[in-house]
Amino acid sequence: MEEEFSFHDPTKLLDSASEFAHHPVAPNEAAVKNFLDRFPLPLFCSALQTKADVPGLENTLVACLERVFKTKYGTSLVPQYMPFVQVGLKADSQIVRCLSCKTVLFFLENFVDKSLSAVKLIMDYDIYPLLLDCLINGNEQVATAAIDAIKTLAQFREAMGIIFPSNINDATHLGNVASRCSSLGRVRVLSLIVKLLSISNSIASVIYSSNLLSLLEADIRNSNDTLVTLSALELLYELTEIQHGAEFLARNTLQLLHSIISNSSMESILRSRAMMISGRLLSKENIYMFVDEPSAKSLISAIDVRLGLLDGQDADERESALEALGGIGSSIQGAVFLLTSFPSVARHIVHAAFDGQGGGKQLAALHALGNIVGENRPDGSIILNGDAEERLRRLIYEVASESTKLTPSGLFLSVLQQAAEIRLAGYRVLTGLVARVWCLMEICSKPEIISIVTDPTTETAKIGMEARYNCCKAIHRSFMSSKLASDPALSGTAGKLQEGVERGPYLVRKNNEATPVVMTAERF
């Protein structure tokens, strides 16, 4: 060691560690080696264990070591210091426990020494049970770091027997761990299970066969604790983002979601989340490979009934119902269901979308209608089957005739004349609807609509500019591929649309020539 000094005077260690931890450039391997040659790891471990009364010492050393172990050279030393990692995972200090969890993570991520077995080291030093303890009893940062480490460990084939022991009575079996910890610890275990499920189909199969997801269902059925149920529903929502997670939900939880939505005694927030999960789940095109039509329709019916009961009542729950239906309508099958099997739902959405009142209800309805008409579907999947398309057309004309606007074009214009967020949703609706010839004709019958969608000064926010431009492009594309393109009476419309597309989404000055600047002469 180049420098000798006693830990009883830790100033030099603290100063050097602080400089290393906060250097603006991440250290390379050589810099880490040089630093550890001067200040070996045992010195850090000793300093952290003795808890010297030096302000900022622990935080600084932890930040320094985290930077060290992020490098391959630093993690190459971990096998030699596994006892220190073991002690760190059991430390009273939360930041030391967090560092130790991250050290295990970095070690597993950077493991390259084929002469050693990463999993064997984890087993030899009984690291996995300590990670579970950090998950359950650590603070939020420690629990997150523990989940990340366990998730990385699960990607080693040799670790399957550790994380999913065949003996269901094993103390580390996740079902047993969940059964003996606090409600917070149980939620964390369930979160770990969801994270593990996202890794691969093979791990998902192990989780299914281990019946671990039944823990999630049990918490959802626990009507005695709203927070526990809500936490479990949030994890279900996370599962809908995972393909094999969505498959599980489709097979096992549709009836459970149905029962929550239909239960008037449930907290409104629980029904709202159940509806949102249903919408997210049924928004996936391939979900109908795993969901039978009667089950899907039953779930939609439950949302429909709930929406009918909410008229004029809980605004948040009503908007959640509309958003959920919009999610369902974003898939072709879902949109067809809504238009052909649930005319009352479709009618409610269209009425709310064009009621002119603004606010959350109209906004949610417009976005729902935008999904149903295919704004977020690929070009070849926008148009629905004949029956659904005819019902959509009749519904919009019917709603228009019952309004003061009388025509669909009047409805469209009224939406585009409202507040920015309503206009943005309106652009989405027109972007999808204009693929239909009848809608294109309605739009072209109102020069005011063309003026709005082609004028780059209409919107000032980036998201609004882009939505307006996408709408302009969609109208232009439909117009040019239709018979209207050859109508001399619409040549002006064609020109404005072409100019709008060429101008782009953002406001650009037409004249970029230099202009003279006249300044008053300076006088002294």
Q: Tell me which of 25-39, 149-163, 195-209, 401-415 is least confident.
A: 25-39
Is the confidence at residue 241, as pLDDT, over 70? Answer: yes
Is the confidence at residue 35, as pLDDT, over 90? Answer: no
Domain 253-403: CATH superfamily is: Leucine-rich Repeat Variant (1.25.10.10)
Is the confidence at residue 130, as pLDDT, over 90? Answer: yes
Chain Cα centroid distance, residue 523: 62
Q: Report the pLDDT value the prediction gives residue 136, as an integer from 0 to 100.
A: 94
> Does the model's pTM come out above 0.85?
no
Enumerate the CATH 1.25.10.10 domain ranges in the chain, comma separated. Answer: 253-403
Q: Tell me which of 9-13, 94-98, 242-246, 351-355 is least confident.
A: 9-13
Closest to 24 in 3D by CA, of 60, 67, 59, 54: 67
The pLDDT tens digits for 445-462 are: 889 999 999 988 888 889
Torsion of CA 421, 425, 426, 428, to 10 degrees: 140
Q: How confident is residue 503, by pLDDT bands cut at 50, 70 and 90?
A: confident
**Rounded alpha-carbon distances, angstroms, from residue 478 to 44, 180, 396, 452, 481:** 68, 62, 19, 17, 5
Round to whole Å and give the CA distance between 182 and 167: 23
Is the confidence at residue 259, as pLDDT, over 50? Answer: yes
Q: DSSP assignment of 338-354, as one string? A: IIII-HHHHHHHHHHHT
- Mean pLDDT score across all residues of the chain: 85
Q: Measured at the alpha carbon of residue 415, what is the angle toward residues 413 and 421, in degrees to the nearest 5?
A: 140
The pLDDT tens digits for 297-354 are: 888 888 888 887 666 566 788 888 888 899 998 989 889 989 998 888 899 899 889 9
Torsion of CA 112, 115, 117, 118, to 10 degrees: -30
Q: What is the mean pLDDT of residues 256-265?
A: 87
Q: How confident is residue 144, by pLDDT bands cut at 50, 70 and 90?
A: very high
Is the confidence at residue 37, as pLDDT, over 70? Answer: yes
Q: Tell me which of 52-66, 186-200, 489-503 is least confident.
A: 52-66
In the chain, pLDDT over 70 holds for what percent of residues? 91
Amino acid (one-letter) located at 428: R
